[in-house]
Structure 1
């Protein structure tokens, strides 16, 4: 039981770090590396709003919020792959793709391990 709790705690921390990395890479692309024409604040809000929706539930270690994050990450993965495909010389597409894949895998592992911990605690 303590091993499962430690696994869930570690992967939760990894997920939060990857989540912050994805947000920072999106902000870096929009504000410094490839600033778009038009309102930078509006474009940043459109990029980050879907990603920030499950944040309150994720901070409470909610399994439903983590599963919704996995669905939302599909759009960031597609965006990153397209960016890497059309501009392979720039690292932003690769970073967004990498962060979204790793965060997806980490979130799925967190869902599994935290559900096992919750089930064990309910049985006790």
Structure 2
């Protein structure tokens, strides 16, 4: 793994962990819908599903979680535009940034692996055509 991929991996894993911590703190203490904590803290649960795969550098998990994270981006945009509380709007801005960082870092982390897979597929197809033409 080169230094760029190491950087992208670290950005992806740290932004996911920070997003989990942000959502917990947001709905429990910082700006919950109801004082003392909110049931909306359950929005953290879906973020826990890709965590293990991300920490293990699983390419498949990186791919699907990069699309999945867009739900948190959308929530951040909606809450940044609609919440009356200034603290909640600020937290929504942080959520937007973290989700964009995660999205971009997973895309750039996976990119070299996709190129390798595409080249291998192309070579396999060429070999298959060649073996069929010699028969």
Q: Which has the higher contact order (CA 8 A, sep 6+)?
A: 1
Larger radius of gyration: 2
Contact kept, 8 Å, 1:15 with 1:107, in 2: the verdict is: yes
Question: What SS class does the counterpart of residue 2 from structure 2 fall into?
Answer: helix
Contact kept, 8 Å, 1:18 with 1:99, in 2: the verdict is: yes
Write the deviation string for residues 81-115 of structure 1: whole angstroms up to 9, x where unpaired.
00111137331110111111111001111111355
- Which consecutive unaligned segments of at least 5 residues does structure 2 have? 119-135
| 2:20 corresponding residue in structure 1 | 23
Deviation of residue 43 (structure 1)? 3.0
RMSD of aligned alpha carbons: 2.6
Deviation of residue 54 (structure 1)? 1.3
CA 1:28/1:38 → structure 2, altered by over 3 Å: closer, same or farther? closer
Question: What SS class does the counterpart of residue 61 from structure 1 fall into?
Answer: coil
Write the deviation string for residues 30-59 of structure 1: whole angstroms up to 9, x where unpaired.
111112339947532x21111111122112
| 1:101 corresponding residue in structure 2 | 100
CA 1:58/1:117 → structure 2, altered by over 3 Å: closer, same or farther? farther
Contact kept, 8 Å, 2:16 with 2:102, in 1: the verdict is: yes
Report how many residues are paired: 116
